[in-house]
Chains A and B, each alone.
Chain A
Amino acid sequence: MKILVIGSGGREHTLCWKLAQSPRVEKLYCTPGNAGIAGVRCRNGMPVELASAKADDIEGILRLARRERPDLIVVGPEAPLCAGIVDKVDLELGIPCFGPQKRGAELEGSKVFAKSLLRKHGIPTADFTVFSDPEKALTYVREHGGPLVIKADGLAAGKGVIMAKDAAEAEAAVRRTMLDGEFGAAGHKILVEETLVGEEASLLALTDGQTLVLLPSAQDHKRVGDNDAGPNTG
């Protein structure tokens, strides 16, 4: 079978590398891919073919898929998922596409949506307040003081979360996010959250909507420097 993988990072290299080990795969495409992905070969010796459409170029990806007619499309990054690529591929091409539909991708595309869902279902999470009015947000953080976490609602390439240790830092974070437009439309709405203390873990799971299958847990080391020094890397 022919498979098209969307994205260009280490994750997509990993997915291409793993998919290429399947005896069922005759041809892999990756768009836009990278030099390492171009070095992956299927078991029949065929190298991965790179295309030029970027991961957020939905129309370009649809054109590519229409031309090459893959049997399966695997979406790596969140941006095309939140833009509804799975719905569009299904509607316009009828090609199976691995990833959530736009409505499901909202869990990552809107932190306000995700947190509201957590609260509604009583799933433990940091206490939070939602703001869409910058003045109200500024008043709140001034009165509340730090430490606080300021989060842009929308996708900001992992950069939209600011840890503020006191009221002044929190005010600055609100200004950057809501008034200076540092994260664009993603920052029109924000969450102000209590700071949690503890070790972070990543739990990855696969789901078909009914069953949940857990993969082994992992621990990301998000800060750039040793002993968690320096800025978050997204």
Chain B
Amino acid sequence: MTTLPPGITEAQTLTADVEVGCDVAIVGSGPGGAVVAATLARAGLSVVVLEEGGAFTKARFRGREDEAYPLLYQDGGQRVTKDLGITLLQGKAMGGGSVVNWTTCFRTPDHVIDHWRTRHAVGGFDGAALAPHFAAMEQRLSIAPVPLELLNRNNRALYDGCKKLGWAVEPTQRNVLGCAYSGHCGHGCPIDAKQSMLVTLLPDAMQAGAAVVTRCRVQRVVFEAGRVTAVIGLAIDASGTQSTGVTVTVKPRFVVIAGGAINSPALLLRSAAPDPHGVLGRRTFLHPVTGVVGVFDDRIEGWRGAPQSAASHQFAQRGDEVGFFLEVAPIHPMLMATAMPGIGTTHRDTMARVAHFAAFLALTIDGFHDDVPGGRVTLSKSGAPVLAYPIAERQWRAFRDGAKALAKVAFAAGAKEALTGHDPPTSMRSDADLAAVDAAHWEVARVALFSAHQMGGCGMSDDAKSGVVRSEDLRHHQIDNLHVVDGSVFPTSLGVNPQLSIYGLAHLMAERLVARWKTA
């Protein structure tokens, strides 16, 4: 048994198996794991963070899609639901999704936390308990609203369109310091302006003594007599594709799983964790997104500027109908090429107009209706996660309504044409054509759907029959020394971009864990 030095150990450089002892092993270095690591390390606990992704710096963040997606996204950017219906953009790197997200920050809405209390037996905290933790993270990550005059033309089209229609819309808050508005948030910030975990809480944690092991894929946790006794990781080569054959074994007193939605439940499934009520992996939520492209006479050049800097929650709460919120997507050639329909010259001619496109998104809010239970994570033969996500009829209605709302925004902002994500596309020239949205085939793999927000799968509930962890401290219901602290614990989706919800919840829970474990 050895100890690791504070700072980064890149597992691809290890030449022999290692066995490490520590107080707390944290699996995953994204928004959940990094916040917990910093808090625990500062409190004097010995912390080892295991991360499957690589340790990269801004030297590798060159704003190149061909470099960023293979290095910084799950499955090299090719993650998709089981029926191939929903593309899943999910980060993988030291710093997790915070390295590639589009910097949008919202606190968890109070009505969502209230819904969790009344419908999912989440009694361990309320909005008031979380508020100071949101404030602390907002301060640490320099989270502040984007000045209206700094919206790029894509975001400004959403803002102006909503204003003309009389709909609620606001500039978003972003976690940036010295942002140059390069537009490359999704490729890793080229100047470290984005206050991701890579440049904030992970350095905080390492300064306080934490060890971070990158390129270490955790295969399983080992249970003995109702406790975790070891965490077993496999070293991965520098490219992130092959095992080097070296094993990293950590023997901690406590374990925090923070691999994010999809990966955290998959790890517990691989480990044959107790799941007496069959809830593990279920209720995985995606904020499934459909898009509408507005075609403008002027050049929009949606590849520059803050990728997301305006949002409308006009339609977030629709009672019996599934709600949705409106944002925009950055427009880079690869991301748009894969989203736009067709092949051959049809597709080429579409791409020739891409500088004139504004990309509008409707993010549907899943998990709040009984017939919208989200997806379920299971394992493939090789142990990789597989997410089956059936789309309920109520969600298809929300996609239709969302697409119509987006087309209205596009025309209100001055677009000459609006295109849905269908293949073949549905094209509209004005509000008079909106019926075309209803006439289109809303069916899996006939319309582009994607998700940049993965949540749930290890849901919290104080009722052990319906949750994987309890809400008071996110402790596993059946395993004493195992906690899950990441986006997988949300019992529904959030109705807002998730990163700040994860930071705030992790900050609260980490303080509670310190109070317990310092005396344990």
A, B bound:
no
Interface residues in chain B, defined as those with a beta carbon under 8 Å from any beta carbon in chain A: none
Interface residues in chain A, defined as those with a beta carbon under 8 Å from any beta carbon in chain B: none
